[in-house]
């Protein structure tokens, strides 16, 4: 307790009733959480079985447990209830199923969900009698269902955020999906919240059991709480209301996942009698970085007014970098990293490169590989190992070597041509018997039904069309041609959907692949490089000295001595899918979450912060991010274009 500052001590000493700790970046919120649990146990004699600590991720739950063990001891830690909202809810559901002797529901995996929704959206057939024949994206469909559940909306309710003229289509999709889950006794990730809320809301006895167990509730990253989680929290907390939440509205960046920042900004109105404590001392970043990040975030309107103060001494101001395109930008970033490492100032692992979308990693990886600098990508595979990238490269390998059986096997059914393992095995056996290479065996194999033959004809047509185009197109143009001839983009959108809200990162990866191919004059040279790049290890080995690459979303909660923020351009940050315009002017509310994302990136830096913008991205002209202008002109009076040499 002696090492806590006054605001931290005030928070830790709070015992009963609702309390919201608004913790600025680097202000020691995890320390406050663990110290408060320790005080409840040691000084208030609260058994740890009556304490519930809710974290945003499974990893954060593990880290909290590690910090708590030396404070409360291993024995007390075993009784502590610690986990994510989803894991705690699933625990409650499983308890109810066991005590009521009901059938257990097994979690539905990602593959099962996509296959089920794909079948529902497909045309009706004898094999698929429930098909809707609706040309709708699988990923968007799943995102729609998840959004409804996170807002506690069932198929019988008024649906949220759907066009009125399509509401019945959406409802039919939702109902069919729920029926398919029930038939196979499955529940999805979002059901854990929805079903737990329904169970506790409708069962007073069970609700009382868990409320009596969870006498003291602590919630981390409260700014990322969605409606379902908030309603469950209220059921858990009643009637004691010993709710202690920690978060930062300045770092609320998951609105596209249904998180609602107003739960933390309006905590006092939601929880009468609540106490609010501000943690405004930043122990992580230099005062220069804190100053500039404060300048940026003050442009947001819908937030609690607080000003972070730096505990650390002034160091260098953030550095602006300017490049012609993403490849030159990456080369400049890597050159600066090498200078820091070779000068003995930093190790590779001290440097993090942050970007808005995964496709931006392509240029960075190429530059790091070229310079023989080790790196690791967090939350994603290496660029040249991504499925869609490997698919297009496989097509290109066939054009370079028609006898490349591995490449043929990979893309024979991508896009879907209904040429499964049975056909492939027959074609291979036919080739073995008659001495044909695989491509010729596929062309000549007589053991093909007429239905399958259409798929064979489509595959061979694609290869022949691409062979003809190869002679007069460069590698970058060939990447585009493969996508056009095979209609890969349309298939990918339907097959995979989107992983990041409204965005489709896989299409962005294919655009980035064309940029990579554009650096080579010959297709053979590009393929050789891509194969070499794909075999490089980008795994995060403990203690490995590697440059850290990740998206801005992934970087939340982390910190690094040196941070590079790449692609500080309008359309990337803020992302073009997020920005709304009215009469040609940006709607202020539409970019608030993107501005918070930029703030998160800036406040990851401890000592050095670099912000980079380019003239072009993927061959198109782009403007510098509006956030750069907000930072520099307001704080210094110097126009951003002049400060950044634009």
Catalytic residues, by residue number, are 29-30, 220-221, 251, 604
Phi–psi pair at 547, nearest 5 degrees? -65, 140
Whole-angstrom CA distances from 362 to 127, 528, 532, 545, 546 are: 42, 16, 14, 20, 17
Whole-angstrom CA distances from 25 to 147, 355, 601 are: 28, 19, 11
Whole-angstrom CA distances from 359 to 123, 341, 356, 370, 510 are: 33, 26, 9, 18, 8
* Cα–Cα distance, 597 to 552 (Å, whole number): 7
* Cα–Cα distance, 639 to 317 (Å, whole number): 16
* Cα–Cα distance, 562 to 280 (Å, whole number): 22
Q: Centre a 10 Å sphere on the Cβ of residue 422 and count the other Cβ atoms it contains.
A: 10
Counts of helices then strands in the chain (DSSP H, E) = 29, 20
Write the secondary structure of 294-321 as one string of H (helix), E (strand) and C (coil).
HHHHCCCCCCCCCCCEECCCCCCCCEEE
Using CB atoms within 10 Å of the CB of residue 388, give its burial: 0 to 12 exposed, 13 to 18 middle, 19+ buried. Answer: buried
The reply to whether omega before 536 is within 30° of 0 (cis) is no
Q: Backbone dihedral region of 194: left (phi > 0), alpha (psi from -120 to 50 degrees) or beta? A: alpha
* Cα–Cα distance, 204 to 209 (Å, whole number): 9
Angle among Cα 21, 607, 317 to the nearest 5 degrees reads: 105
* Cα–Cα distance, 87 to 133 (Å, whole number): 36
* Cα–Cα distance, 519 to 597 (Å, whole number): 32
Q: Hey, is 278 helix, strand or coil?
A: strand
Decide if 383 contacts 365 (C-beta within 8 A).
Answer: yes
Helix H or strand E encompassing 162: none
* Cα–Cα distance, 548 to 488 (Å, whole number): 31
Decide if 329 contacts 365 (C-beta within 8 A).
Answer: no
Decide if 116 contacts 180 (C-beta within 8 A).
Answer: yes
* Cα–Cα distance, 598 to 585 (Å, whole number): 20
* Cα–Cα distance, 646 to 644 (Å, whole number): 5
């Amino acid at each position: 307790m002696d090492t806590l500052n006054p605001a931290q001590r005030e928070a830790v000493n709070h015992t009963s009733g609702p309390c919201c700790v608004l913790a600025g970046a680097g202000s020691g919120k995890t320390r406050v959480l663990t110290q408060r649990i320790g005080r409840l146990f040691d000084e208030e004699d609260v058994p740890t079985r009556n304490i519930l600590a809710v974290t945003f991720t499974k990893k954060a739950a593990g880290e909290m447990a590690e910090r708590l063990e030396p404070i409360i001891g291993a024995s007390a830690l075993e009784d502590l209830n610690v986990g994510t909202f989803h894991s705690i809810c699933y625990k409650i559901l499983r308890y109810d199923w066991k005590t009521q002797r009901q059938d257990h529901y097994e979690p539905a995996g990602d593959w099962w969900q996509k296959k089920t929704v794909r079948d529902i959206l497909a045309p009706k057939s004898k094999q698929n009698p429930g098909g809707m024949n609706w040309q709708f994206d699988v990923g968007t469909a799943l995102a729609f269902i998840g959004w409804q559940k996170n807002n506690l909306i069932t198929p019988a309710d008024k649906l949220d955020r759907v066009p009125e003229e399509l509401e019945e289509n959406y409802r039919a999709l939702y109902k069919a999906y729920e029926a398919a889950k029930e038939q196979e006794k499955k529940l999805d990730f979002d059901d854990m919240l929805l079903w737990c809320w329904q169970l506790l809301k409708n069962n007073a006895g069970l609700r009382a059991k868990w409320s009596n167990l969870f006498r003291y509730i602590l919630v981390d990253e409260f700014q990322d709480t969605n409606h379902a989680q908030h309603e469950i929290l209220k059921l858990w907390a009643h009637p004691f209301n010993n709710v202690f939440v920690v978060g930062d509205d300045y770092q609320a960046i998951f609105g596209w996942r249904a998180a609602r920042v107003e739960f933390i900004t309006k905590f006092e109105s939601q929880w009468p009698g609540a106490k609010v404590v501000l943690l405004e001392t930043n122990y992580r970043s230099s005062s220069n970085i804190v100053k500039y990040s404060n300048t940026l975030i003050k442009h947001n309107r819908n937030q609690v007014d607080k000003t972070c103060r730096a505990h650390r001494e002034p160091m260098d101001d953030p550095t602006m970098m300017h490049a012609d395109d993403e490849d030159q930008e990456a080369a400049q970033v890597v050159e600066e990293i090498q200078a820091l490492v070779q000068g003995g100032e930093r190790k590779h692992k001290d440097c993090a490169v942050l970007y808005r979308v995964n496709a931006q990693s392509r240029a960075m990886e190429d530059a790091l590989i070229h310079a023989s600098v080790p790196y690791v990508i967090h939350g994603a595979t290496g660029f040249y190992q991504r499925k869609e990238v490997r698919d297009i490269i496989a097509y290109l390998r066939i054009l370079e070597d028609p006898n490349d059986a591995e490449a043929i096997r990979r893309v024979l059914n991508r896009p879907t041509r209904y040429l499964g393992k049975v056909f492939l095995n027959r074609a291979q056996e036919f080739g073995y018997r008659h001495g044909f290479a695989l491509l010729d065996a596929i062309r000549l194999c007589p053991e093909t039904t007429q239905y399958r033959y259409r798929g064979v004809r489509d595959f061979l047509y694609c290869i022949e069309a691409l062979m003809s185009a190869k002679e007069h197109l460069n590698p970058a143009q060939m990447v585009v041609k493969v996508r056009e001839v095979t209609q890969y983009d349309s298939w990918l959108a339907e097959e995979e959907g989107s992983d990041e809200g409204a965005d489709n990162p896989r299409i962005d990866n294919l655009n980035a692949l064309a940029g990579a191919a554009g650096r080579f004059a010959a297709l053979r040279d590009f393929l050789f490089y891509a194969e070499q790049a794909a075999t490089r290890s980008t795994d995060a080995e403990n203690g490995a000295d590697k440059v850290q690459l990740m998206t801005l979303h992934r970087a939340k909660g982390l910190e690094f001595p040196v941070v590079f923020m790449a692609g500080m351009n309008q359309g990337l940050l803020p992302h073009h899918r997020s920005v709304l315009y009215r009469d040609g002017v940006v709607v202020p509310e539409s970019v608030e979450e993107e501005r918070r994302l930029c703030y998160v990136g800036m406040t990851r830096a401890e000592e050095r912060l670099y912000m980079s913008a380019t003239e072009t991205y993927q061959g198109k002209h782009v403007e510098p991010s509006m956030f750069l202008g907000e930072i520099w002109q307001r704080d210094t009076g110097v126009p951003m274009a002049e400060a950044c040499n634009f």
